[in-house]
Amino acid sequence: MKYAYYPGCASDSTARDQHVSCTAVARALGIDLAEIAGWTCCGTTPAHQTDRVLAASLPAANLVRARKMGLDIVVTCAACYSMLKMANYEVLHHPKVREQVSEALGQDYDGSVRVRHFVEVLLEDVEIDRIRKALKHSLNGLKVACYYGCLLVRPPEVNQFDDPENPMSLDRLVTAMGGESLDWPHKVECCGGALSLTRTDVVVKLSDAVLTMARAAGADCVAVACPMCQINLDLRQSDIKKETGKDHNLPIIYITQLLGLCLGIAADELGLEKLMVSPESVVKRLT
């Protein structure tokens, strides 16, 4: 099980915890993540807001690197995932864009490299049964609100990740870990996304709605698979408290961190200390 690993910029900064927990989990499950040498930015919001060709070319530059490695590309960041998927979609569906992208890259790119989210690798390639057998600890009925946000599941025709309205991928992992995955209605609400710094007020409002609902559903924590979601929901809890007086105090934890814990990986190898809201209550529940 070998993949071309595309960490994305966040893995070196805001989502370092996701990066380390993902690689630790991969090691534990025998997944070989070969980091793409010389990987570059996926273009993210600034690219797709300004230039269609650029938005496809930047991710495509990484896709051709993976093509050289002859491997599927694996991503942890939902935004990167979406951008890479979109690049494939664009060149596959729009010959004109393909031409322009190829020109920018100096080589033809046909959209053939398979883009996978790490969660997809866990569910489709490793499979739940093997994961279950490898677990050392159980979440012991911990109530987990799995939160997918926008970019994992949308646009559905491009991403084709699970059911766009009621995805269950993270829930299946949580259930396998012995947790109780909650059926709650805000799985795919927007957290505010890239407006984190420019329009904090919007993020505070939207993230508050998500967290309020998670709490109403009885969540002990929220599991995420996207750096943007994680940071908005986690970091903005103090702002929400300031704005609304609501103290959610909900740990926002990467699915790979939860899985790492259950696989018996030490907390410090999973970057748990990086979380703003302490995950101590979660760790304590493990048996």
Partner 1 sequence: MDNNNNNNNNNKKIGAVLVEGGGIAGVQAALDLANSGFKVYLIERSAAIGGMMAQLDKTFPTGDCATCIVSPKLVECARNLNIEILTLSELYRIEGEPGRFTVTVKKSPRYVDEKICNACGDCTTVCPVTISDRFNRGLGTRKAIAKQYVQAVPNLPAILKLGHAPCKTTCPANINVQGYIQLIKKKEYIKAVNLIRERNPLSAICGRVCTHPCETACTRGQVDAPVAIRQLKRFASDKEMEMVASGQLALPEEKTPSSDARKVAIVGAGPSGLTAAQDLADRGYAVTVYEARPAAGGMLRWGIPEYRLPEKILDYEIELIRRKGVAFVFNCQVGKDITIDKLRADHDAVFIGMGLQKGSALHVEGENLNGVVQGLDFLKAIKEGTADIKDSVFVIGGGNVAIDVALSAKRLGAKEVQMACLESWEEMPANEEEKKQALEEGVIIHTSWGPKKIKGSEGMVNGIELKKCTAVFDDQKGFNPTYDETKTADFETAMVIVAIGSRSDPSLFGTTADLPVNQRGNIIADQYGLTEKDGFFAGGDIVTGPATVIEAVAAGKRAAESIDRYVRKEDQRTARFENTIAPVAEELLPSTAEVEKRPRAQAPELPVEQRTNNFAEIEAAFSEEDALAETERCLNCALCSECRECVAACEKNAISHAMEGQMVELEVGSVILTPGFEEFPAARKGEFGFGRYGNVITNVQFERMLSAAGPFEGHIVRPAGGGEAKRIAFIQCVGSRDSKCGNDYCSSVCCMATIKQALVAREHLEGLDATIFYMDIRAHGKDFDRYYERARNEESIHFIRSMPSRIVQVPDTKNLRVRFAHENRKFEEQEFDLVVLATGIDPKTSVTESISRLGIEPNEFGFCATNRLFPMTTSRPGVFVAGAFQEPKDIPETVTQASGAASMAMELLADSRNTLVVKKSYPDERDITDEEPRIGVFVCHCGMNIASVVDVLQVVDNVKSQPGVVFAKDSMFTCSDTSLSEIKEKIREHRLNRVVVASCTPRTHEPLFRETLREAGLNPYLFELANIRDQCSWVHPLNPKEATNKAIDLVRMSIARAQSLASLGGESLAINQSGLVIGGGMSGMTAALSLADQGFKTSLIERTDRLGGNLLNLYNTLEKDDISGFTAALIQRVENHPNIMVYRETEIARVAGHIGNFLITLARKGEKTDISCGAVIVATGANPAETTEFLYGKSKQVLTQVELEKQIHEQTFSSGGGNVVMIQCVGSRNPERPYCSRLCCSMAVKNALSIKEKDPDAQVFVLYRDVRTYGFRETYYKKAREAGVIFIRYHQDAPPKISDANGLVVTLDSPDFPESLEIDADHVVLSTGVVPGANNKAVADMFKVSLNADGFYVEAHPKLRPVDFASEGIFLCGLAHSPKFVDENISQARAAAARAATVLSKTHLDIGAQVSHVNQNKCISCMTCLKVCPYGAPLVNRDQKAEIVGAKCMGCGICAAECPARAIQLSHFETNQFCMMLDNLLAVGNS
Please report whether residue 29 would count as binding partner 1 according to CB under 8 A.
no
Strands (DSSP E) along 110-220, which ranges? 115-117, 143-146, 180-181
Listed ranges 20-28, 45-53, 158-166, 236-244: which one lies at the site for partner 1 (CB under 8 A): 158-166
d(CA 119, CA 215): 24
Q: Which stretch binds partner 1 (CB under 8 A): 79-87, 215-223, 235-243, 262-270?
A: 215-223
Buried b (16+ CB within 10 A) or exposed e, 37-46: eebeebbbee
Residue with tokens 């927990």: 21
Tell me whether residue 68 or residue 93 sits nearer to partner 1 (CB atom).
93
- Asked if 201 interacts with partner 1 (CB under 8 A), we say no
Q: Which is nearer to partner 1, 32 or 108 (CB)?
A: 32
Contact between 127 and partner 1 per CB under 8 A: no
Nearest distance, CB of residue 111 and partner 1, angstroms: 23
Helix, coil or strand: residue 161: coil
Q: Which of 54, 69, 195, 217 binds partner 1 (CB under 8 A)?
A: 217
Residue of 219, 212, 280, 275 whose CA lies nearest to 247: 212
Q: Which lies closer to partner 1 via its Cβ, residue 28 or residue 101?
A: 28
Question: Residue 163 or 273: which CB sits closer to partner 1?
Answer: 163
From candidates 133, 197, 198, 268, binder to partner 1 by CB under 8 A: 133
CB-nearer residue toward partner 1: 110 or 163: 163
Whole-number Å distance between alpha carbons of 10 and 18: 9
Alpha helices in 94-139 (DSSP H): 95-105, 118-120, 128-134
Q: Which range touches partner 1 (CB under 8 A), out of 86-94, 102-110, 177-185, 264-272?
A: 177-185
Q: Is 141 in the site for partner 1 (CB under 8 A)?
A: no
* Cβ at position 244, least distance to partner 1 in Å: 17
Pairing of strands 73-75, 32-35: unpaired
Q: Closer to partner 1 at the Cβ: 64 or 123?
A: 123
Nearest distance, CB of residue 129 and partner 1, angstroms? 9
222 near partner 1, judged by CB under 8 A: no
> Does 155 help bind partner 1 (rule: CB under 8 A)?
no
Quick check: 184 binds partner 1 (CB under 8 A)? yes
Q: Which of the stretches 213-221, 223-231, 237-245, 250-258 binds partner 1 when contact is defined by CB under 8 A? A: 213-221
Q: Is 183 in the site for partner 1 (CB under 8 A)?
A: yes
Phi then psi for residue 225, to 5 deg, are: -140, 30
Q: Please report, as ranges, the residues that interact with partner 1 according to CB under 8 A.
A: 133, 163-166, 183-186, 213, 216-218
